[in-house]
Homo-oligomer: A and B are copies of this chain.
C-alpha cells in the first residue's frame, strides 16, 4: 500500500482515490489500519476544512429528497459536496440507508457530488469513528461541504453531533401537538430545525409545526456557542426546492459567526480528543473480538453458567489469557 501516492492522488480531488482511501479507513485488517493511520497523518496538516453538516431525520420526513435538492443547489453554486452516513443498523440490513443510490439519482450523477454509504459494522462507535475519518478524507480531497446523515433514532445523532460543525434536524409537518415526538436531547443538539414538505396541502401544517418548534427552541437553555437568534426553525420544501437557499444562508451565517468567535476550532479540538479516547477504548475492547479470545470467553462462560466457576474467577482467568496472548 503506497500511502504517499494515495495521499497525493487524494489531494488532486480524484474520486477513485477518495473512494479507495475511505475503504482503507473502514477496513478492520491490521495492516490496512496502520496504512489508514499513516494516510490520515499524511493529510493532517493540509489546511483544508469543509463545513461539516450533520443531518438527522426519521424515515418519512423526505431526507433523501432534501439531500438531493440541497446538494444540487450547492453544486450549482460551484461547491463540491460529499454525502456520508452514520447508520448503525446497516450491519443488520447488510446495506445502508444510502446504499440505494437511486434514491438520489440526480445528485449521484453530479460531478460535483460524492455519495458514500455508511460503513458496515455492529458497533455505533466504530461506524461513527470511521465516518469521521472519511469526512476528513473528503476535506483533504477538496470538498467544501460534507453532509453526514443519520436516521433519527438512538444514539447516532450524538455521534454525528460529535463530528460536525452544524447540526440540522429535518422534520415533517405534524398534526396538532406532536412536539414530544422529538427527544429533548436531540432538540438540544439542533442548530437549525427545518420543517420539510411546506408545499401543497401540507403547507399550513408545516408552518404551524415550525412555529411550535420555534417556540420550543426558545425554551431551551442558551448555549455559549450560539449567536443571538440561534438555534432557529424554518420551513422548506425539498420537492419544490423552496427555502433551500435561505436555509443555506442561515447555515453560513451561523458558521461564519462561530468561526470568527473561535467556536468552530475549539469544538473541533474537543471532538478530536473525544474520538481519540473513544478509539482507545474501542481498541482495548477489540482484544475480546479475536477468534482465540472468543473461544476462551465462550469456554469460561459455559463454566460460569454451569456453576463450575464464579464470574470473578472466570474474569481473572480471561484477563490472564489475554495477557498471555498479548
Which A residues lie at the B interface, using CB under 8 A?
A: 34, 36-37, 40-41, 44-45, 129, 132-133, 136, 269-270, 272-273, 275-277, 279-281, 283-285, 287-288, 297, 300-301, 304-307, 309-316, 318-319, 322-323, 326
Contact = CB atoms under 8 A, between A and B. Distances in A.
Given A304-B273, A305-B272, A326-B326, A313 B280 contact: no
A177 to B, nearest CB: 15
B40 A269 contact: no
29 contacts: A36-B312, A37-B316, A41-B310, A41-B312, A41-B313, A44-B307, A44-B310, A129-B311, A133-B312, A269-B304, A269-B307, A270-B305, A272-B304, A273-B305, A273-B311, A275-B311, A276-B300, A276-B301, A276-B311, A276-B318, A279-B312, A280-B288, A280-B297, A283-B315, A283-B319, A284-B285, A284-B287, A284-B322, A285-B285
Contacts of A41: 309-310, 312-313
Given A272-B305, A304-B272, A315 B280 contact: yes
A285 B313 CA distance: 18
Contact of A319 (B270, B280, B319): B280
B37 A312 contact: yes
Given A44-B307, A273-B304, A318 B280 contact: yes
Contacts of A306: 269
A273 B301 contact: yes
Contacts of A297: 277, 280
A312 to B, nearest CB: 5
Contacts of A322: 284
Nearest to A293: B280
Nearest to A266: B305
Nearest to A322: B284
B310 A40 contact: yes
The residue among A45, A133, A276, A284 with the most chain B CB atoms within 10 A of its own CB is A276
A270 B301 CA distance: 9
A310 B288 CA distance: 25
A207 B273 CA distance: 53
A167 to B, nearest CB: 20
Given A37-B310, A37-B312, A40-B310, 5 more contacts: A37-B313, A273-B304, A280-B297, A281-B288, A283-B315
A315 B37 CA distance: 9
Contact of A315 (B45, B279, B319, B326): B279
A315 B129 CA distance: 12
A122 to B, nearest CB: 15
